[in-house]
Homo-oligomer: A and B are copies of this chain.
C-alpha cells in the first residue's frame, strides 16, 4: 500500500458515504464551522480541522491544537483557568522563491473529507493557475486512538507541470506568550505553563521523500525541518511527520523522556503500523457503539456524527481530565467541565464503553476534596461539586461573561447552580447499574454518593412548616436566579439522599470492611443516616396532587405568561428578546427543568402526571440551551410521542450539523450529541437500567424501519434489533452469563444460545 493509495479517495471508509463528512470549496465565513465539525480527537489530543495554512496566504484563524488538561490562567490576576492552546504541530509552508506555493488553489478543487469510521481527516487541493507550478496536494491527518500521545500527518504533493525551486518548511506554529519554553532540542521541545505548574513535551520526527527517495533537510532546527530542491513535472513529494505529546506536572524533570519513548515506539511501528493500530482501535469503538437506522438517512448520519465525536471525546487512561462542554474541538467554555458530562455523556459511555465512563467518574472522585471544600465554604458538610470544573475541581465559573448582545453579564451559576452535585451522584448510580463495578463502588462511587447525599441533607434545612426547603438556587432554567425549591434540584436532591441510604445499606451488607473504613473516614454513623431518612421525605417537591403539576420553583406560576409562539421567527434566545429583567419575571424557561426531571426520574411522576407536566412546561420553554431539546426528546419518546421526539432529535442534531449557522465555531456541542444518542437508545428503543436487568420499551418514529445497536451490561455484550415495521424486538447475548430482559410487560431470561424475540412491541 503506497501513500498515494492511502490518500486515494476510494480508500476512504471503503467507499461507503455514510461514514463520511465531506465539504468541497472554500468559504471564509463557514471555515470555523468546518474546523469544528471536522475536528479530530482521541480524548488527549484535539486538532481542529483547519487547513487554511495549506492554502497559501489566508487571513484565517490558525488551527487550534488542544492537549487535555493543559490548563492555565490567562492573566496574572485571573482565577479562571483555561485550556491553553498547544503549539501547532500541523503547520507546514511550501514556498516558491517568491512566496507560498498555493496562492490560488482552484476554488472547487479543495475537498475536506472526514472518515469517521477510521478517525482520519483527508484534504485535497489543486492549483492549475499559478505559474510556475501546477500541483495537486493531498494530506492525511490523525491523532491515534491506539496510542493517545501520537499524532501523524502525511502530505503528498504531485507536481503536475512546471519547473521551479521549491522549499518545504515544517515548523511548529508560534506559542508566543502562551507557554514558557523550557527546553529545545532538534527532536524535542518542552514548555511549561506560566502559573499552573503543568508542563508539556513534544517529540517529533519528520521526513520528506521525492519520488520515493528520502531527502536530507537543508536546515534543521528545534522541531524544524527545511527541504529545498528543484521541482519537476511528475514528481511525487511525500512528507510525513509523527509527533508524541506528553503532559506532566512541572515537578517531573524528565518531561521529555516519555515523549521520546512514545515517539520511538511509534517510529518502530512506522506510519503504516500507526495507521493500522489506529484503525483497529476505531473499529473496536464502532463495534461497541455503532447504531444503524433504516428509513431515515439523516438520522443515520446524525447518529454516526454524534458517535464519532463521543468516542473521540473521552480518554479512559487519564482520570485527571473529564470531557469539556466543547470536548477538544473549540475554545468556547475554555475546556471547562459541566453537568453535561454526567447527565448527557455518561449514559452513552456506561453502555458502550464503561472504561471511559469509569474514568470520567474517577475525575469526580479525584476532585471530591475540592467539592467538600466548596460545601464547607457555605457551612455544609458533604460535597458540592463546582458548576464549572477544570483540573483541580475548584469552582472556576467566571464571575462575568459576554452575552449574545455583547453586554457583560454577571454569572451566578458558580455559587447557585448546585444540582451538579446530584447530577454527579446520578451518573455514579447509572454506571453502577450498568456495570455492577464493585471495585469502583467501593473505591470511589460509594463515597461520592454518600458525600453528595450528606450535602443535600445539610443544604435542605428544616423550617417551621415541617418541610425542608432548598433556597437560593439556580435550576437548569438559568433564566431564574436565586429561586427557592426548584423542582429539579429538590427532586434530584431527594433522589440522591435516597441513593445515599441505598449505598450505605448495600456496602454495610456486602462489604462490611469497606463500610467500616468509609464510616470512619467520613465520620458517618446511624444517627446521621436517620437524619437522611427524614430529609429525603421532608424536602419540598413542589408537586400539587390537585393539578398533577410540579411547580418549577416557589412562585413560578404567579409570573407573567408569555406566548412564545409570538416569537417564533426570532433567531436569538428569549432572554435576549425580552431583556434579562423581564425574562426573570416571566414563565419563560431557558431549558428543560421539570421536563429534565421527568427525563431523568420518570418514577418521580405519579400516574399520568408525566404527560401533564410535559404539556404544561413544553410551551413555556425557549430552548435557550443546546441541552434543552435532548431532554424534551427523551421525555417525549418515553411518553410514547415518537414523532414529537423525532423533531427534538432532529433539532438537537442540527445544532452541529445545520449549515446556515456559524455558531459551532467555538466547538461541537458534545452534550447535544450525547442527547441525540439518548433519544435514540433510551427514548426510541426505550432502554432503561433496572437493578435486576435491562428493560426495553421501543417506540420508533414512523419513518424508522429498524434500529440496531449493541450495548454492554455488567460484563455482557448484547445486540439489540428493533423492527419498526413488524414491531419485533430481538435481543441476543453475544458474551456473558444469562440475564433478565424486560420487554412488552414481561421478564425473559436470555443466554448466549437463547436470544429473545418479542413481537408486538412499541411502534
Residues in A lying within 8 Å of B, measured CB to CB = 26, 28-30, 53, 55-60, 62, 74-78, 82, 84, 98-100, 102-105, 107, 174, 176-178, 180, 194-195, 400-408, 567-572, 576-583, 660-663, 665
Query: Which of B174, B400, B403 is in CB contact (< 8 Å) with A174?
Result: B174
Cα distance A508–B404 when bound, in Å? 57
27 example contacts (A-B, Cβ-Cβ < 8 A) are as follows: A28-B75, A56-B177, A57-B76, A57-B195, A58-B74, A58-B76, A58-B177, A59-B74, A62-B176, A76-B105, A77-B105, A99-B180, A100-B177, A103-B195, A402-B662, A404-B404, A405-B572, A406-B661, A406-B662, A406-B665, A407-B662, A567-B577, A569-B581, A570-B578, A572-B572, A572-B577, A576-B577
In the complex, what residues of B have CB within 8 A of residue A57's CB?
75-76, 177-178, 180, 194-195
B579-A194 in contact (CB<8A): no
In the complex, what residues of B have CB within 8 A of residue A76's CB?
55-58, 102-105
> Interface SS of chain A: helix, strand, loop or mixed?
loop
A407-B74 in contact (CB<8A): no
User: Closest chain B residue to A663 by CB distance?
Assistant: B406
Cα distance A578–B82 when bound, in Å? 36
Query: Which of B28, B405, B579 is in CB contact (< 8 Å) with A74?
Result: B28
The 7 A-B pairs of least Cβ separation, nearest first, read A569-B579, A59-B74, A405-B571, A406-B663, A76-B104, A57-B194, A569-B582
In the complex, what residues of B have CB within 8 A of residue A29's CB?
400-402, 408
User: Closest chain B residue to A85 by CB distance?
Assistant: B59
Query: Which of B53, B75, B99, B195 is in CB contact (< 8 Å) with A194?
Result: B99
State the Cβ distance, A182 to closest chain B Cβ, in Å.
10
State the Cβ distance, A184 to closest chain B Cβ, in Å.
15
Contacts A406-B661, A407-B660, A572-B405 given; indicate if A75 touches B58 (C-beta within 8 A): yes
Cα distance A572–B583 when bound, in Å? 14
A408-B661 in contact (CB<8A): yes
Cα distance A406–B663 when bound, in Å? 5
A78-B407 in contact (CB<8A): no
Cα distance A102–B102 when bound, in Å? 41
User: Closest chain B residue to A84 by CB distance?
Assistant: B59
State the Cβ distance, A590 to closest chain B Cβ, in Å.
15
Cα distance A81–B26 when bound, in Å? 17
Counting chain B CB atoms within 10 Å of each CB, the highest count among A407, A571, A662 belongs to A571
Contacts A29-B408, A58-B75, A76-B104 given; indicate if A576 touches B571 (C-beta within 8 A): yes
Contacts A403-B571, A576-B570 given; indicate if A26 touches B58 (C-beta within 8 A): no
Counting chain B CB atoms within 10 Å of each CB, the highest count among A62, A78, A402, A569 belongs to A569
Cα distance A362–B100 when bound, in Å? 36
Query: Which of B58, B177, B401, B580 is in CB contact (< 8 Å) with A59?
Result: B177
B660-A408 in contact (CB<8A): yes
Query: Which of B26, B62, B174 is in CB contact (< 8 Å) with A75?
Result: B26
Cα distance A7–B405 when bound, in Å? 38
A103-B195, A570-B577 known; 12 new pairs, CB 8 Å cut-off, are: A53-B177, A57-B195, A59-B75, A100-B177, A402-B662, A404-B404, A405-B572, A567-B577, A569-B582, A570-B576, A570-B579, A576-B577
In the complex, what residues of B have CB within 8 A of residue A177's CB?
53, 56-59, 100
A407-B571 in contact (CB<8A): yes
State the Cβ distance, A330 to closest chain B Cβ, in Å.
13
In the complex, what residues of B have CB within 8 A of residue A403's CB?
571
In the complex, what residues of B have CB within 8 A of residue A58's CB?
74-76, 177
Cα distance A57–B77 when bound, in Å? 11
B77-A59 in contact (CB<8A): no
In the complex, what residues of B have CB within 8 A of residue A78's CB?
28
Cα distance A78–B568 when bound, in Å? 35
Cα distance A32–B177 when bound, in Å? 18
User: Closest chain B residue to A108 by CB distance?
Assistant: B77
In the complex, what residues of B have CB within 8 A of residue A579's CB?
568-571
In the complex, what residues of B have CB within 8 A of residue A60's CB?
74-75
In the complex, what residues of B have CB within 8 A of residue A577's CB?
567, 570, 572, 576-577
State the Cβ distance, A658 to closest chain B Cβ, in Å.
10
State the Cβ distance, A668 to closest chain B Cβ, in Å.
15
In the complex, what residues of B have CB within 8 A of residue A107's CB?
77
A572-B576 in contact (CB<8A): yes
Counting chain B CB atoms within 10 Å of each CB, the highest count among A56, A75, A567 belongs to A75
State the Cβ distance, A558 to closest chain B Cβ, in Å.
19
State the Cβ distance, A566 to closest chain B Cβ, in Å.
9
A662-B408 in contact (CB<8A): yes
In the complex, what residues of B have CB within 8 A of residue A400's CB?
29
State the Cβ distance, A623 to closest chain B Cβ, in Å.
14
State the Cβ distance, A98 to closest chain B Cβ, in Å.
8
In the complex, what residues of B have CB within 8 A of residue A572's CB?
404-405, 572, 576-577
In the complex, what residues of B have CB within 8 A of residue A104's CB?
76-77
A404-B402 in contact (CB<8A): no
User: Closest chain B residue to A103 by CB distance?
Assistant: B76
Cα distance A690–B578 when bound, in Å? 46
In the complex, what residues of B have CB within 8 A of residue A174's CB?
174
State the Cβ distance, A331 to closest chain B Cβ, in Å.
10
User: Closest chain B residue to A58 by CB distance?
Assistant: B75
In the complex, what residues of B have CB within 8 A of residue A406's CB?
661-663, 665
In the complex, what residues of B have CB within 8 A of residue A102's CB?
76
State the Cβ distance, A148 to closest chain B Cβ, in Å.
25
Cα distance A403–B404 when bound, in Å? 11
Cα distance A609–B576 when bound, in Å? 36
In the complex, what residues of B have CB within 8 A of residue A53's CB?
177
User: Closest chain B residue to A405 by CB distance?
Assistant: B571
